[in-house]
């Protein structure tokens, strides 16, 4: 028995040494860029030679490992829990399943009553406990990242909300993690995580060509643009704050990434309503972006408005106010030659305009988006469509942000959708992948 154990340990030492050398070879020759080459270099040795050499190796070095990650997205308009199930092997990470639950309103709706925000998060945790097997609770980390909704609040109020949520997460049966993972996320991370999600689901992170998709994310409080520059001119001419180097799944990426706080769709609505507030009536707004017959109320981030339509309702008059919002946006010249994927409110408003389907999305030219915006801002069309009173404003804002803000051409096409392979495109999956990288 002792002799067999000794031989087993000897073979383990030899094979681990070979595996280490082979790993160095793979790392330097293919940089994990090809899943096929990675399989040849690593998986044959891992799956066949090692288990056959000694049963001890099969016991302590399993071919695959099941992992769960729970990510709570505390957004400006609602909170969402994502429960991811991964299969980890020597060839990399595979997403096997994704569960999702959403509640409204967001944490920023409770600036002075953080306990109510905590109560809403507890419902999301119950969903996670139902999905993750009990025997995986202690090994499953839960992170909560708040986005622009809390970034727009005064620091003292947002801090109180996060601290109350932190107390809740620390008493769950899930794995305890660093407090940094229960925090207000900066905009750059939000964009980079979304870009990671997009290109992971598209299979671009393992392609030897290195070709990736650019990401356009439009939330309630902020807007993000992220892409991997192919031109040195982009790198040299861009502000330092717009360039970031990140490591994802073993490979480094130099990314153009910037988050514009205050340029989210709900923030844009609020700005227009502020511009058109009636003199002497601090919270009553009459906007040419709103159909004349409309009277109602609207709230965002603790600000309440009484909204009236305006007789001057049309595209040009609405555009006048929208253009005052979209200023000081950097325009990288390279984007006119790159492929971009737009999601979140870019997708939701395209659905409302009848431009793409709900599930599959579609390839959409900016010109067609613009024509739809002009149409929905005409009196006759709006009455026929019977849509949201804010649809004209939303459509004009999106097309202006893309054209006047980022600098896309009217003839340019964008891929617009909410999901890829039935998984939602958001920053949450990217954050989970980065956590797996950090834990490796």
Catalytic residues: 190
In the structure encoding, which two tokens stand for residue 387, read together? 């849509």
In the structure encoding, which two tokens stand for residue 5, read together? 């154990």
Q: What is the dihedral of CA 77, 362, 263, 338, to 10 degrees?
A: 140
Check if the beta carbon of residue 378 is closer than 8 Å to that of residue 315.
Answer: yes
Three-state SS annotation for 56-69:
HHHHHCCCEEEEEE
> Sign (positive/negative) of CA torsion 430, 433, 435, 437?
negative
Helices 391-400, 265-275: inter-axial angle, 10-degree rounding = 110
Q: What 3-state class would DSSP assign to 296?
A: strand
In the structure encoding, which two tokens stand for residue 415, read together? 């891929």
Give bridge partners of residue 251 from the DSSP assignment.
Answer: 248
Residue 302 DSSP label: T
Strands across the sheet containing 142-146: 92-103, 79-89, 64-74, 142-146, 182-184
47 φψ region: left (φ > 0), alpha (ψ -120 to 50), beta (else) = alpha
The helix, strand and coil proportions of the chain, stated in percent and rounded to the nearest 5, come to: 50, 25, 30
List of residues 6+ apart from 293 with CB closer than 8 A: 309
Of 83, 87, 88, nearest in space to 98 by CA: 83
d(CA 196, CA 71): 15
Q: Where are the alpha helices (DSSP H) in 76-186?
A: 114-131, 148-151, 155-170
Asked if omega into 105 is within 30° of 0 (cis), the reply is yes
Of 347, 183, 331, nearest in space to 260 by CA: 331
The beta strand positions in 63-164, using DSSP E, are: 64-74, 79-89, 92-103, 142-146
Check if the beta carbon of residue 265 is closer than 8 Å to that of residue 219.
Answer: yes
């Amino acid at each position: 028995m002792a002799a067999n154990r000794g031989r087993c340990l000897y073979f383990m030492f030899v094979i681990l040494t070979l595996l280490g050398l082979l790993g160095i070879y793979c790392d330097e020759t293919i940089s994990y860029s090809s899943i096929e080459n990675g399989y040849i270099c690593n998986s044959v040795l891992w799956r066949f030679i090692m288990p056959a050499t000694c049963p001890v190796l099969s016991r302590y070095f399993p071919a695959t490992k099941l992992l769960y990650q729970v990510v709570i997205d505390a957004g400006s308009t609602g909170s969402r829990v994502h429960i991811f199930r991964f299969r980890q092997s020597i060839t990399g990470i595979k997403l096997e399943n994704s569960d999702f639950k959403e509640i409204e309103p967001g944490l920023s709706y409770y600036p002075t009553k953080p306990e109510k925000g905590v109560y809403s998060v507890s419902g999301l945790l119950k969903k996670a406990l139902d999905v993750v097997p009990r025997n995986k609770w202690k090994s499953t980390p839960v992170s909560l990242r708040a986005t622009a909704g809390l970034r727009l609040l005064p620091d003292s109020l947002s801090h109180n909300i996060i601290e109350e949520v932190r107390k809740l997460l620390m008493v769950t049966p899930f794995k305890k993690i660093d407090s940094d993972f229960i925090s207000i996320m900066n905009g750059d991370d939000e964009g980079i995580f979304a870009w990671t999600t997009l290109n992971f689901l598209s299979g671009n992170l393992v392609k030897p060509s290195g070709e990736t998709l650019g990401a356009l994310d439009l939330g309630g409080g902020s807007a993000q643009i992220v892409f991997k520059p192919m031109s040195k001119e982009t790198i040299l001419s861009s502000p330092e704050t717009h360039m970031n180097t990140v490591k994802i799944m073993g490979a480094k990426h130099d990314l153009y990434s910037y988050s514009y706080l205050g340029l989210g769709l709900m923030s844009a609505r609020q700005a227009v309503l502020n511009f058109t507030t009636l003199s002497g009536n601090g919270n009553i707004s009459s906007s040419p972006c709103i159909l004349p017959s409309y009277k109602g109320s609207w709230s965002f981030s603790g600000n309440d408005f009484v909204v009236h339509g305006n007789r001057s309702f049309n595209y040009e008059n609405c555009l006048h106010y929208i253009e005052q919002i979209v200023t000081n946006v950097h325009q990288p010249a390279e984007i006119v030659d790159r492929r971009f994927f737009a999601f979140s409110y870019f997708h939701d408003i395209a659905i409302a305009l009848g431009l793409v389907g709900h599930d599959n999305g579609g390839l959409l030219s900016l010109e067609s988006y613009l024509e739809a915006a002009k149409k929905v801002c005409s009196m006759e069309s709006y009455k026929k469509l019977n849509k949201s009173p804010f649809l004209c404003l939303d459509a004009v804002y999106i097309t202006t942000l893309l054209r006047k803000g980022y600098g896309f051409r009217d003839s340019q096409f964008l891929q617009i959708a909410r999901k890829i392979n039935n998984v939602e495109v958001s920053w949450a999956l990217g954050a989970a992948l980065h956590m797996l990288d950090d834990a490796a």
